[in-house]
Amino acid sequence: MSPHNVLSPRQKALQVNLDETIYGSFAEIGAGQEVARHFFQAGGAAGTIARTMSAYDMIMSDAMYGESSRYVSEERLISMLKTECTTLMQRLNLERGEQSRFFTYANTVTAKGYRGGGNYHGWTGIKFQHSPGSEPSQVIVHIKLLDSQNLFQQEAIGTFGVNLIHSCYHANDSMANFVRSLMDSLTNERIQIDAIKVSGPAFEHMDDRLLSLELVRNGYTDVIMFNSEGKVVQPSEELYKKNIVAMRSGFRPPTLLNVEMLEKGAQQFKNNLPEDEGDNVVTLAEISMNRLIERGAIDSADFLARIDMLSSINQPVLISHFQHFHTLSHYLSDICRRRVAFVVRVHNLQDIFDEENYKDLDGGFLEAFGTMFGKNTQIYVYPEKADNEDTLLLSDSVTLSTAVKPLMEYFKNNNFIQDIKDFNPNVANIWSRKVAEKIEAGDPSWETMVPVSVAQAVKNSELFRPG
């Protein structure tokens, strides 16, 4: 990775101000003129700022950008960017369009106020021309504000906004540089970026999905999410007030067994939910970062192929930094505010009950299980069939220490852990590893082990080439 020269927010703002071709507007809702302030204070702002706007009153905001049910949302941000960019270019294009690279920066943020706690976050973005007269490109980012005081949150918002504007003009040569530059002078203890989307001619060499992967790779967020169409989405908006059924795997490739596990797990989960919650269920295919680097390094083509294969079966995907089930359970429970269930194999359950996995926790095994099951989480165990064996293994096949056995009994007796009763034994030993081996060996029987759409996606990707 190339050395990264970190400039201060003031240095970045001044560099932009001194570029006579960069000219634009600022529209900030909810947290003041935190970004524009940096450019005013750096000096030379008259050469950069056409106007700034700040609408605190909802009626005034609606008058400028149209009515909205949610003011801190991607929808509102897009409306702000569109309105401001159109206004700017209509009024100034004839006068200075030949020599200017116009931009519009906008954000809509909820920060800590006088009335207590909350979910502090915001949508921020920019529409800009990378060269005079070019079609505008666009960046949209969702950030979580983690500082405990309003003043520090405002400072973080200002710094991030300066970074975004500067990065679009000075650090868009590569995805790695672009993502790193967004967090200059910040840490992931102050801000997390959990969604980023780019479009337009300035980003023809970039892919939203790979940019999102860079966020997780660099530790700028714990989780990124792709919807059933393979598009980047913001997890807390997509999963809020949803009951979640999740399965952890590498999905290289997704098999008939993976599909069966999610379907049967979701059905049993729905049967255990209140009647009015049965239709409010989302299934998630979760891939942890260690699964992506198990082949030695993260391969971009491999990563994109997995997303394409899962989207071919309309399956939302979560990529996370969470190594253990209890940390993922805590994250999902926190954002969905409903119930969470994991569908696992017997060997996964064995791993969950292995005390060695929790020796680094102050509370050890009990802390992990309190975190995992304390927020109404359940585990559904899909029967497992070993290679070349007909015997199906259930949850009672797990080998446990004497100290742990009573806990397993407690969780099973109280339905926190349940065996899946309705299953297809014919797919019980279709492992992704076996499918990959068959593909690489040129054995055509692999196509009978995956959904038809996945088979086509594999062929399109040429990820597994016959040896």
Strand 281-288 and strand 384-385: the pairing is unpaired
pLDDT of residue 93: 84
Q: Please indicate whether residue 464 or residue 21 has the higher confidence score (pLDDT).
A: 21
Mean pLDDT of 376-384: 92
The answer to whether 225 and 181 are in contact (CB under 8 A) is no
Helix (H, G, I), strand (E, B) or coil at 378: strand
pLDDT of residue 258: 96
The answer to whether 435 and 463 are in contact (CB under 8 A) is no
The partner residues of 137 in beta bridges, in order of sequence, read 128
Q: Looking at domain 9-221, which of 3.40.50.300, 3.90.950.20, 3.40.1520.20, 2.40.160.40 is its CATH number? A: 3.90.950.20
The answer to whether 449 and 255 are in contact (CB under 8 A) is yes
In 3D space, the residue among 461, 339, 335, 355 whose CA is nearest the CA of residue 405 turns out to be 355
- Cα–Cα distance list, 238 to 95, 209, 232 (Å): 43, 17, 11
Q: Ramachandran region of residue 43, left (φ > 0), alpha (ψ -120 to 50) or beta?
A: left
Mean pLDDT of 270-294: 87
Amino acid, res. 89:
M
The tens digit of pLDDT for each residue in 29-46 reads 876 689 999 999 999 999
C-alpha to C-alpha distance for 232 and 81, rounded to whole angstroms: 19
pLDDT of residue 397: 87
Amino acid, res. 348:
N
C-alpha to C-alpha distance for 182 and 180, rounded to whole angstroms: 5
pLDDT of residue 220: 94
Bond preceding residue 253 cis, omega within 30 of 0: yes
Q: Please indicate whether residue 117 or residue 19 has the higher confidence score (pLDDT).
A: 19
The tens digit of pLDDT for each residue in 87-141 reads 999 999 888 878 899 999 999 998 887 665 677 899 999 999 999 999 999 999 9
- Asked: is 236-461 a CATH 1.10.132.20 domain? The reply is no
pLDDT of residue 56: 74
pLDDT of residue 119: 78
Q: Ramachandran region of residue 108, left (φ > 0), alpha (ψ -120 to 50) or beta?
A: beta
Helix (H, G, I), strand (E, B) or coil at 152: helix
Residue 149, class by beta-carbon neighbours within 10 Å (0-12 exposed, 13-18 middle, 19+ buried)? exposed
Residue 106, class by beta-carbon neighbours within 10 Å (0-12 exposed, 13-18 middle, 19+ buried)? buried
Strand 101-110 and strand 121-128: the pairing is antiparallel
Q: Which two tokens stand for residue 229?
A: 């169409």
Task: Give the sign of the dihedral formed by CA 212, CA 321, CA 397, CA 272.
Answer: negative
Mean pLDDT of 55-81: 82
- Angle among Cα 31, 102, 42 to the nearest 5 degrees reads 55
Per-residue pLDDT at 467 exceeds 90: no
Q: Helices 58-65 and 74-96 sit at what angle, rounded to 10 degrees?
A: 60
Residue-range domain boundaries for the chain: 9-221, 236-461
In the chain, the percentage of residues whose pLDDT exceeds 90 is 65
